[in-house]
Each structure stands twice: as structure tokens, then as C-alpha cells.
Structure 1
Amino acid sequence: MKSQKKILNQYKAQILFVLLSLLLIISCGKQKTLFEFSTEKVDRDIVDDIKKIKVLPHPGLLYNDTKYEVWKTCSGEWGGTVYFKNKKSGKIYYAEATCPVSVNKINNKYYISNSLSHLFGSSDILEITDPEKMSQTTIIPLYHPGIITREYESHSSKGAKKLIDTAGAVIMSSFVYKQKLYSILLNYSNTKATISELRDNKFYTIKEMDKDFFSEHPLIIKESETYQKIYLQQPKPGIIEIKENKIKFISYTKSKK
């Protein structure tokens, strides 16, 4: 009799385990994915859409908020710099950053995504809690991709904390969703393009994407912290539209001869 009860209890435990496992699987299956991805093809030339942009961003101006303008200069392998100009006082603070491609703000901290395609490629992300603890300068040099400004580049890291420093990967742009920072990366070693989350000072892949949607020279129109459009003419014409957690990849099927 005791042995029968023991066997019955074992069966009950096994059945309970199976039921709990099924509930867990069902629960996981119902969880929504973090981002919603979609694709679209349009039968027109991307140049025509770029011409419709009313105000093109200055190549050196990365970010604007109520207190600061954030500018950049880049001299490639000779270095780069990020500048914070206080709108009220006019004072300028700067730090070494090679080379800034994106500025994002989370909980009143600034995150500078830097990328350099020289040789095997490299990238890093800086955290700046208080720009006015950075070194001070008196001028923001004129920046244009064709102008070398290396004699002005900063060599100071004061006030800037490096969260991650990678070799072999470059960043096209970064964006914020639910107070977390995400970057669009290209890994030179395996030519994989990904959308990755910065977590515990490491990159974690959220989604692998078509590498044809990665360009080292995109046109980025940033409408807000959670909305940007990235225009690409190389390697193939397209747009990545990021709005909150909705990410759309738009391909163009026409090009001017």
C-alpha cells in the first residue's frame, strides 16, 4: 500500500512538472518582442526624397537640448573631439572622441557614440554626466568631412567616462528606447550588421540586419531622442526609420543614371 502511494505521488509530481513547463512555454510564446521590424520597397529615387528635406543638419552639429549645443570635429586616425557649448554662458567644454557619430541623453547623462573606420575599424561610447567638468576651450573649429582639423583636436578625457571600447566594429548611429541605449553596428571580422544593446558595458545583439543597410557616411535626420531617419546612398539606397520601438527598412528600386 505504501509503495502504491509512493508511486502515485511520483506520478503527481511528474504531471505537475509537465503542466508548469507547458504554462511557461505558453507564457514565453505570448511575450511581445522588444522591437517591431518591417520592410518596404518604394519605386522612386532616394535623391528626390533627400531634396525634399527642408533643413539639412550641419555636418558638425550632433545634438541640441535646452542647455547645450553638442558639436564634433574629426581628423580620422589623428583623433576627434566632442564639444559642449553652454547656450547661456557661451562657454565651451570638450573631450577626446574619435569620432562622434551620435549623441543621446538618458537620465540627464550624455552618451557619445564614436566610430572610426580606419584599418580594422573601432568604436567606443563615452558617458558624460556633467559637461562642465570637462576641459574648457575657446573655439569650435569649422568642421566639414573634407577639412582636417587635427591641430585643434582634444587629447583630454577629463569628465568623460569610457563605457566600452571595441576593435573590429564600427557604429553608424545610436538611439534610445525605454531609457536604454541601442547602436547599429557593423562587425568587420564577419561583416555582420546588428542592432545591439549596450548593457553592463558590453554590446548584446538584439537583431541581425542586412549589411546593405549599413553605411559609414549616412545622412541622419534626428527629430527627437526616439525618432530618427537614416538616409543611405551606399552600398544601396535606403532609409532606416526608427520611431520608439518600430524600426522600418525602406529600399529604393530606382536610381538616377
Structure 2
Amino acid sequence: MNQIFAILILSLTLFACSGQQNSSVTNFESGFSLTKDTISISVNGRMTHALEYKDKYYVLFEQRLMKYGGYGKRWLYIFSNNQLEKVIDCPEEMKTVYLDFYVQNDSIIMKPYMDKQSYYLDNTNLKWNKIDKTDDLIWEDSDFYVYSLDFGEWGGKTWFKDKKTDSQYVLESTTPLINKIDNTYYLTNSFQVLKIDNPKELTKCDSDVTYENIEKTGKNYSWYSQSKGYVVIHEDENVDYFDFSYHPNIVSSFVLNNELLHIYETDTVSYLARIADNRIQPFEKILDDVKFFNWHYSYRSKNKTGKNELLKFNTKNDQAFGLTTIKGNKIYVTYLINKTELKPRIIGKEKSNEIFENRLKAILSDFSKLTLTEIESKEKEWKTFDITPNHKIGIGDSWNPNNYEIDINKSYLVVEDSIISNSIMYYATKETDLVRAVTINWEKTQTSRIEFGNEKSASEVFLTKFNDLILILTNELGEPKSVNEEKKNQSFVWTTQNNINVEVKLSRQDNYNNIRMVVYERK
């Protein structure tokens, strides 16, 4: 409830600032202006990548998976004039962590880091088509192609390739953002800015360390260039690259009136800044409580053509995030307010038991005719949280003695409190839409922080929950057919008149607690 309230307040605040246009403008003494807009969306996922292309926003979303592993689905949302224009499914092959999303040769491209196979978007038919190979170009002007590769723990390299001679010049710099003022190049990373007056004064490449050869052979850590041909105009010497805690950093750099400026972020505030005497000097606060981010191995879209990159940010609220771009002295911020809840709410013991009893009646009233469509409708009615995996999950012969084909699943989560939650899985046959088996698991609630010292209390909670379930099942089904009351592994089994088995087992071992219930048709 607090989360929804916070989103509502943010939406109303932005709207109130803007009147009917849903837009607010702030003019700063520095000569910059900040325009804020809001777009309301509904998507079961988080933003990962974004591009501005031909006056439209192209935003990638990835489904959040709460359980079962695998990769989430991806969708491309296209926005025009702050309105959602189109939603396009992404290829199944793009279910990967390391993905780049960029414009090249007037095409929008998705490129996985570990695979040569990439896709481009056909803007006419709005469909994805395969392309065999794309390169690692991050900048181009009339004199040079600039390529860069990220080798993870081995750092990275950036090459300047002379368009006239094909000679290549290299330095150790990992996927920087590049800006150019007159004939001078500026390479920006989070904690460092380099100045290159003449790329031909960098280390000239032998054939074995050209971009093409390193990209082809993968010998990314076998050679390091000489440190020459550039000047470090800023470097944060307090940064420990093996310390992954947050540190103030440069988010982006851009050129205005032949001056290199920066967006600089602390843990609470984002500023416009310039560099003087090797130090970042903020001169205008622009946003509070946002965290800019870039996705893993996503670097080709930063500033390839000299146009300022589209920046992505999160807020403290998972359902409020946004986009920022700078055009001249105008800063544009678009908040995306997601109406779809991305995390399940705690509903309490009473509501959790009510859902269980409703499920029990729905499942056992006529199990042999229970359809997946029917139970999906019920789960929506009960407002449980959909956590269906993107891959098929089967079951063993003991829970499927009739050897039904199991080729579709649906799963839902109920968070009772901070200690215990339950997830239900329906195993079904797609052709008939019939549910063939059901499992419910009561497990420890997953939290984002590590908790110690509550194993004993959790064990007691699970024992109490188990006893509650046995009472509910006995009231519904009568006395169990068999009982095993071993202290740490209790189990009860019922068989209904229409030959349906209901099995419930409690497992308590050290800091592991689990209750599992299985419903299936006997042979």
C-alpha cells in the first residue's frame, strides 16, 4: 500500500506542476532549463536499455523472475510524444544478461555479448530480423573509426582507425564515451576523463593487436599498450575498483559552447559539473534521489554520432524510473510510472489461509475436469502474484502415474509475512487445458537482506503453519489415510472418493524449513 501511495504522490506531484500538459519547466541561473514529463505504463518488467531515435524513445523491458531461474521475456516499448505507440516482443534468443542495444547504419540493433548472432528492427514491419555480425564501433567522424572492447576483469581497449591509411592506434581504455571539441577528443569513464589531441600519437598497432585481430582471436589479455598520446584531465584516485560499494561518479559528458561538461552523481543528488585542476566542480543541481545506470556490456549507443546519449535512471521506488537527455542547454526528464506491481505484497496469515481454502475447494471440487483457464481466472480473483516461469517444468512419475503430457505451467506466489510464503504450480496439458497435478510449497520469504538468528522462530512458524494446514485439510477431506509423525519430517496423505491423492510433508532441518503439498490423480 505504501508503495502504491508513493507512486500516486509522484504522479500527482508531476501533474500538478504542469497543469493539463503534464509537464513542468524549471529555469536555472546557469542558463539551463529542466523539463519534466510523465508517462504512465503497465508492464511486468524492469527497464534495461533505452534509445532515442528519430524523435521516439525505444525502451527495452525485461520480465522480473521471482523463482525457477532462467531468463525473463523482453519487450520493446516505443513511445512518441509521451504516448505509448507500440509494444514488440523481442526474439527468444535475446534472453540473456549481457546485451547491447544501439543504432548503427540507421538501424536499431540488439547484440548479445557472447554470441555473433544479432538482430535489427525492421522499422516498416516492426519485426526483428537476423544479422550475422555487427562490430564494436563507438564513434565515427571524418577522420577515424573508433572501436572499443570490454574484457571484464582484464580491462578493455579502444582503437582509433585512420580512415585514409587503415592504420590503428590503441590505448587501454574500456568502452569510453567520446566527445570532440575542434580536433581534440575527450574519453569519459565513470572515474576518469582523458584528452587526446592527436590519436596518431597513441601506440601504433602491430597486426596482432589491431581491433579486428583481437576481436577475432579473443586474445584480449595478452598485450597492453604503452601509456602515451593522451593526458589525464581527471581521475578519482580514491576509487578502489575491487570495492563494489557505491562511489560518486561521472554519469555522462557532453559539449556545450565548446566546453566539456558532465553529469555527476552522488548518493543523493545529480549535478551538472565541469572539471578544473583535475577536480569535478558541480555548478547546478538537477535531480534528487535518482540513480543513473547502464546495462552490462552496453556501450555502443553512448555518443556515436556526437549527439548526447539517452540516460536511464531508477528511483527509490521500483515502479518509478525514467529517461534523461540533454539538447543544448535544455535537459529533458521523462518519468515512467509503472502501474503494474513488480513485487508481491505481504497479505497476512488470515488472508493467506483464506486463499488456501479457496484453492483447495477449486482444485478438489472436480479435479479431473479442472482447466488451467479456470484456475488462472481464480488466481487473478484472489490477487495472487504471477511468477510463472518462461520454461517448461515437468514432474516425476510418482506425481503423474497416468503419464499425462505436461507441457504448460502456471505459478503464483503468496507472501504471508516476513518469514513464510507459499508458491503454487499448476502442471497442465496444453492441448486439453486440463490440470494434471498441483504442488504448493511453503518456504522462507525471500528478502533482499541477510537475516541471522531467526532460524528457531522460523522453525516454530513452519510447525504452526503445518498444523493449521492439517486442520484445514482434515475438516475438508476427513481423516488422513496415512500419517508419519517423525519429528523433523512429518507427512499426511489423503485419498478422495474420486481417486485424488493429497500429500502434505513438513521438513525441518537446521535452518531449512519447508512444507510441500501435492495433488494428483492416482492410477
The verdict on a shared fold, with TM-score over 0.5 as the criterion, is: yes
Counterpart pick for 1:177 among 239, 249, 256: 256
SS at match of 1:56: strand
Residue 240 (structure 1) aligns with: 324
Please state how far the C-alpha of 1:77 moved relative to its aligned partner: 4.3
Q: Relative to total residues, which structure has the larger strand share, 1 or 2? A: 1
Q: How does 1:107-256 map to 2 (within 5 A)?
A: 107-115=182-190, 123-137=191-205, 138=207, 139-140=210-211, 141-142=214-215, 150-151=220-221, 154-166=224-236, 167=239, 168-187=247-266, 190-208=267-285, 209-217=287-295, 220=301, 222=303, 224-225=305-306, 227-232=307-312, 237-254=321-338
Quote the residue 2:493 is aligned against: none
What value does the CA root-mean-square deviation take over the aligned residues? 3.3
Distance 1:171 1:59 in 2: 26
Structure-2 residue corresponding to 1:102: 177
Q: Is 1:61 paired with 2:113?
A: no
Conserved 8 A contact 2:178-2:303:
no
Work out whether residues 96 and 153 of structure 1, in 8 Å CA contact, stay in contact via their aligned partners in 2.
Answer: no
| Partner-residue secondary structure (3-state), 2:271 | strand
The answer to whether the Cα contact below 8 Å between 1:229 and 1:239 also exists between their aligned partners in 2 is no
Q: Alignment partner of 2:331: what SS?
A: strand
**Letter of the structure 2 residue corresponding to residue 205 of structure 1:** P
Which segments of 5 or more consecutive residues in structure 2 lack a partner in the other structure?
1-27, 44-58, 61-76, 80-86, 89-102, 110-133, 240-246, 343-523
Number of residue pairs the alignment of both structures matches? 213
Give the match for residue 36 of structure 1.
Answer: 33
Q: Which has the larger radius of gyration?
A: 2
Tell me which residue corresponds to 1:5: none
In the TM superposition, residue 152 of structure 1 has moved relative to its aligned partner by 5.2
Alignment match, 1:70: 146
Structure 2 residue identity aligned to 1:159: G
DSSP-derived class of the 1:66 partner: coil
Query: Which whole-Å deviations, capped at 9, do the CAs of 1:46-83 have from their partners, x for residues lacking one?
Result: 43128897623778322110000112122344322221
Seen in structure 2, the aligned counterparts of structure 1 residues 56 and 207 have a Cα distance that, compared at 3 Å, is farther
1:216 counterpart letter in structure 2: N
Summarize deviations over 1:75-114 as a string: whole Å, max 9, x none. Answer: 34432222101112111101112x3331001121000012
The AA in structure 1 aligned to 2:181 is: I
User: Under a length normalisation based on structure 1, what TM-score does the superposition of the two structures give?
Assistant: 0.69
Distance in 2, matches of 1:56 and 1:35, equals 31
Measured in 2, the distance between the counterparts of 1:155 and 1:93 equals 9
TM-score (ref. length: structure 2): 0.36
Which residue identity does 2:233 align to in structure 1?
L
Determine which structure has greater relative contact order: mean sequence separation of CA pairs < 8 Å that are 6+ residues apart, divided by chain length: 1
Q: Name the aligned partner's letter for residue 142 of structure 1.
A: E
The share of aligned pairs that are identical, in percent, is 22
Q: Tell me, which stretches of 5 or more residues in structure 1 are unaligned? A: 1-30, 116-122
| Aligned 8 A contact 2:269 2:290 in 1 | no
Q: Tell me the amino acid that sits aligned with residue 226 of structure 2.
A: S
